[in-house]
Amino acid sequence: MVRPILKYGTRALHTPAAPVVDFDERLQRLIEDMVDTMYAAPGIGLAATQVGVPLRVFVVDLSVGRDPSGLIVMVNPEFVSREGTQLQEEGCLSLPGFNATVLRPARSLLRGLNRYGKPQEREASGLLARAFQHEMDHLDGRLFVDRLRGIKRDVIVRRIQKLQRTGEW
């Protein structure tokens, strides 16, 4: 089932998520819904907080569904290491129509659980490392616009506020 994606400014997006405790049918349904929602958007990543569920879960698939082995599900993830830097433009399903250049790690190692509660580690570089950091930010109550400074951030926030006032957001 495709769920609505929360937009920037919604309180739930700015609140850190809680760890998953129960690996039950509700969690499995949430993960399936998140995958459906990510592919329908279309996007390469989605955090549970973006669909209004305050749990530490995200899904990433750089192939956007074209490669069945490309889907990564991370539950209760944490960074083991992050190295280097990359500066690339990125967007967000919770900020449709807005992009900005954001500093992210070039490489990372993430540890967490799979959808069934089994431990896993994932090494990433390039776009995958960027996606991991982007989704981890969501789980910590941050969006890419929160990483921007100065006029770039102000321009995006002001445009969103204007869209909110006119009912277009």
In a domain? residue 1:
no
Catalytic residue among 78, 121, 123, 135: 135
- Contact present, 64 and 44 (Cβ < 8 Å): yes
In a domain? residue 47:
yes
Average pLDDT, integer, range 2-30: 97
Q: What are the residues facing 125 on neighbouring strands? A: 107
In a domain? residue 50:
yes
- Band (pLDDT 50/70/90 cuts) for residue 110 is very high
Residues near 96 by beta carbon (within 8 Å), at least 6 away in sequence: 7
In a domain? residue 3:
no
In a domain? residue 120:
yes
Catalytic residue at 135? yes
- Band (pLDDT 50/70/90 cuts) for residue 123 is very high
- Band (pLDDT 50/70/90 cuts) for residue 142 is very high
On the CB side of 151, CA atoms within 13 Å amount to 0
66, burial (CB in 10 Å: exposed 0-12, middle 13-18, buried 19+) = exposed
In a domain? residue 30:
yes
In a domain? residue 110:
yes
At 40, which CATH number?
3.90.45.10
Count CB atoms within 10 A of the CB of residue 28. 12
In a domain? residue 93:
yes
Number of domains in the chain: 1
Mean pLDDT across the chain? 97
pLDDT digits (tens, 9 = 90+) for 47-101: 999 999 999 999 999 999 999 899 999 999 999 999 999 999 999 999 999 999 9
Average pLDDT, integer, range 26-43: 98
- Domain range for residue 44? 11-165
- Band (pLDDT 50/70/90 cuts) for residue 18 is very high
